[in-house]
């Protein structure tokens, strides 16, 4: 055999792998082309902005840029825990998000169990459609509707309270405690219908023979729900509850931004809206970046923990 000429059996593995890859690419190039726009958008809006995190460690000035701005290290992170306003914002975020998670887990479960007891398919589907609809409306639209409904002057809710019960008008969106209540209740109203889908799917997967056996044993509908339906739903409830742990610092920017005002900053301002005001309105880009980075790191850790818990207790895994 002459040097430089390889027998077919002696071809390098890399050449075979490359040839196989090219053949596969010829078949799947339309699929790669389809995901190209999404890939470009993800790179532009999710990965390139990561470069801007360097502002958290600088006294960033837009006219100086990243390279000439003064380096201050962890100064902004120290200020995050020294300022009373930023500490209060963290507490507001935790309170609102925990209330949303707890109520957002409990309400869909209860409503899905009640809806499961409806025997008329037409009524059942009609109710499902009605409760799904708010999920597809943006908070820009719903925020405007809520502001009109809850207005002190002329709002239908305050008019009903005054005319029917003789109660003085309540400033729902101007009082901190009432604002939190409105935020949690409106979020549950918007999302519980869509959250029910996974629970209704779990209920649909219950073996009908279990209900028949329970009925033969004399179990009532309530007893069947407690002893048959709920245990069948428990694995998915555990998974959903553990995965929600990663959202502890996400109180809902869109909702609060469209509803809040300076009167409720003390109890309604959350991390995301605080970052927006610090950067866009006050021009303190470095401090806002530090707050956002703090939230992102904590959320990343919580997401990892939640997925580990979901795998441990619910046997749920993505990969």
Helix (H, G, I), strand (E, B) or coil at 59: strand
295 alpha carbon, distance to own chain's centre: 14
Average pLDDT over residues 195-213: 88
Integer Cα distance of 118 and 295 in angstroms: 43
In this prediction the pTM is: 0.81
Integer Cα distance of 245 and 194 in angstroms: 19
Q: What percent of the chain has pLDDT over 90?
A: 15
Integer Cα distance of 259 and 142 in angstroms: 9
Q: Partners of 59 in the beta sheet?
A: 70
Residue 10: pLDDT band (50, 70, 90) is very low
Helix (H, G, I), strand (E, B) or coil at 70: strand
- Specify whether the CB–CB gap between 284 and 292 falls below 8 A: no
For 74-314, CATH gives 1.10.3720.10
Residues of the chain with CATH 1.10.3720.10: 74-314
E-strand stretches of the chain: 58-59, 70-71
pLDDT exceeds 70 at position 46: yes
185 alpha carbon, distance to own chain's centre: 16
Average pLDDT over residues 292-316: 81
Give the model confidence (pLDDT) of 158-180 as tens digits.
898 888 888 888 888 888 889 99
Average pLDDT, the chain: 84
What confidence score (pLDDT) does residue 6 get? 47
């Amino acid at each position: 055999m002459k040097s430089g000429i390889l027998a077919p059996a002696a071809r390098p593995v890399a050449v075979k792998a490359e040839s196989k890859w090219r053949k596969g690419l010829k078949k799947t190039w339309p699929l790669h082309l389809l995901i190209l726009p999404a890939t470009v958008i993800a790179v532009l809006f999710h990965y390139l902005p990561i470069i801007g995190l360097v502002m958290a460690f600088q006294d960033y000035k837009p006219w100086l840029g990243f390279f000439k701005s003064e380096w201050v290290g962890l100064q902004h992170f120290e200020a995050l825990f020294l300022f009373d306003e930023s500490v209060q914002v963290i507490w507001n975020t935790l309170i609102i998000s925990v209330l949303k998670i707890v109520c957002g887990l409990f309400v869909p479960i209860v409503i899905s169990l009640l809806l499961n007891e409806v025997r008329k398919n037409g009524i059942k589907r009609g109710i499902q459609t009605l409760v799904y609809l708010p999920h597809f409306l943006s908070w820009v639209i719903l925020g405007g509707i809520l502001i009109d409904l809850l207005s002190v002057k002329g709002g239908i809710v305050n008019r009903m309270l005054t005319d029917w019960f003789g109660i003085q008008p309540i400033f729902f969106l101007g009082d901190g405690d009432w604002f939190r209540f409105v935020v949690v209740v409106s979020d549950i109203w918007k999302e519980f219908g869509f959250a029910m889908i996974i629970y209704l799917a779990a209920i649909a997967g219950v073996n009908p023979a279990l209900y028949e056996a329970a009925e033969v044993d004399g179990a009532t509908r309530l007893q069947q729900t407690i002893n048959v339906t709920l245990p069948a739903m428990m694995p998915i409830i555990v998974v959903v509850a553990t995965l929600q742990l990663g959202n502890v610092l996400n109180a809902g920017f869109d909702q609060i931004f469209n509803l809040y005002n300076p009167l409720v900053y003390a109890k309604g301002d959350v991390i995301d809206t605080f970052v927006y005001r610090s950067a866009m309105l006050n021009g303190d880009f470095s401090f806002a970046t530090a707050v956002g980075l703090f939230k992102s790191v904590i959320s990343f850790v919580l997401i990892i923990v939640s997925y580990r818990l979901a795998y441990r207790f619910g046997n749920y895994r993505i990969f």
